[in-house]
Amino acid sequence: MNVAQARLTVAALVEAAEAKEVSLGELALQSQAEFSHTTQDAVVEGMIARLNVMRAAIERGLEGNQHSMSGMVGGDAAKVMARAPRSVTGGRIQTAVARALAVSEVNACMGCIVAAPTAGASGVLPAVVVTAGEAAGSSDRDMALALLAAGALGAVIARTASVSGAEGGCQAEVGSAAAMAAAAAVELAGGTPRQAAHAAAIVLKSALGLVCDPVAGLVEVPCVKRNGMYAASALVAADVAMAGVESVIPIDEVIETMGQIGRSMPEALRETAQGGLAVTPTGQRFACKMHGSADRWQLD
């Protein structure tokens, strides 16, 4: 099955992977090589190059010495990482949260990141893949396959619903990223394609209705911390699915529902900075500071 096909569903991907007795990542690798008229080795090399960009963003963000022009973002990733050894949730989850914050902070500071699937949700997938990969002792090739599995799921979401906050709210951005990351984590942990689909459904259900309300119109608040929270959620969803827990609502129906919810959201809650946290008194003060127009932001 070619992941570029029309009417693509996660169920069809799972069925194809099971029929071939391969993982979702291997199925996506075969499809991408065929679609791109190149070799599987070349596809893997390209994904490893992207993996290395993700790693570099994590490392840069964890240095903790950069801040965005607004002053709202910077340094938190390093704080969270420093606490990982004595964290309440356990070092691995705390580390993943720190890494997600790190990539998102690099994005806010105009650094080099991989949109996964968007810049606003760029921290979730790198954090989960690197952290889950370390836990499993994965090779770069293994992590490349996990990214391909995530990409296949992301392709379905983009075709069926949306990965754009302007179209579907933050559920379409960080929710999609979390679903992709959960599937990637299952892949790295040796789970089945069906478990990967259930993990994606479980975490995406928890993001339904999540609005896109960027303070001052910047991809900073609440975007950066949402990346951290949903990196943790993706890892938890992977563990839950691999324990044998299944989503009662199939992933394809969850994706369709996400699209429906996005289309029914008021415009003020779809990346316009005209609703939600963006119009709180503090949010308005930051908007005025950044843009210098009180009237535009309806300040008192």
Angle at 126 between CA 7 and CA 75, to 5 degrees: 135
Residue 223 has pLDDT above 70, yes or no: yes
Give the pLDDT mean for 33-52.
Answer: 98
Which residues neighbour 61 within 8 Å (Cβ) at sequence distance 6 or greater?
77, 78, 99, 101, 102, 103, 104, 105, 106, 111
Pair 137, 17: CB distance under 8 Å: no
What is the band of 181 on the pLDDT scale with cuts at 50, 70, 90?
very high
Pair 176, 157: CB distance under 8 Å: yes
Pair 32, 43: CB distance under 8 Å: yes
Pair 8, 255: CB distance under 8 Å: no
Position 90 scores a pLDDT of: 86
Pair 209, 234: CB distance under 8 Å: no
pLDDT digits (tens, 9 = 90+) for 246-279: 999 999 999 999 999 999 999 999 999 999 999 9
Q: For each of the domains in the chain, give its residue range(s) and CATH number, in order of start.
A: 10-291 (1.10.4100)
Q: CA-to-CA distance for 146 and 279, rounded, in angstroms? A: 38
Specify the range with the lowest mean pLDDT, choosing from 4-13, 159-168, 175-184: 4-13
Position 295 scores a pLDDT of: 45
Q: Please give the share of the chain, as a percent, with pLDDT higher than 90.
A: 93
Pair 77, 65: CB distance under 8 Å: no
Residue 282 has pLDDT above 50, yes or no: yes
Alpha helix segments (H runs only) across 63-90: 76-83
Residue 3 has pLDDT above 60, yes or no: no
What is the band of 69 on the pLDDT scale with cuts at 50, 70, 90?
very high
Dihedral (Cα; 283, 284, 290, 291), 10-degree rounding: 140
Pair 105, 224: CB distance under 8 Å: yes
Q: Please give the share of the chain, as a percent, with pLDDT higher than 70.
A: 95
Cα distances (Å, whole numbers) of residue 98 to 52, 62, 123, 126, 179: 17, 8, 9, 11, 19
Position 291 scores a pLDDT of: 84
What is the band of 57 on the pLDDT scale with cuts at 50, 70, 90?
very high
> Which residue in 97, 84, 88 sits closest to 230, CA to CA?
97
What is the band of 122 on the pLDDT scale with cuts at 50, 70, 90?
very high
Q: Letter for the amino acid at 147?
A: L
Token pair 């392709």 is found at 155
Position 296 scores a pLDDT of: 46
Measured in residues, the chain has a length of: 300
Residue 300 has pLDDT above 80, yes or no: no
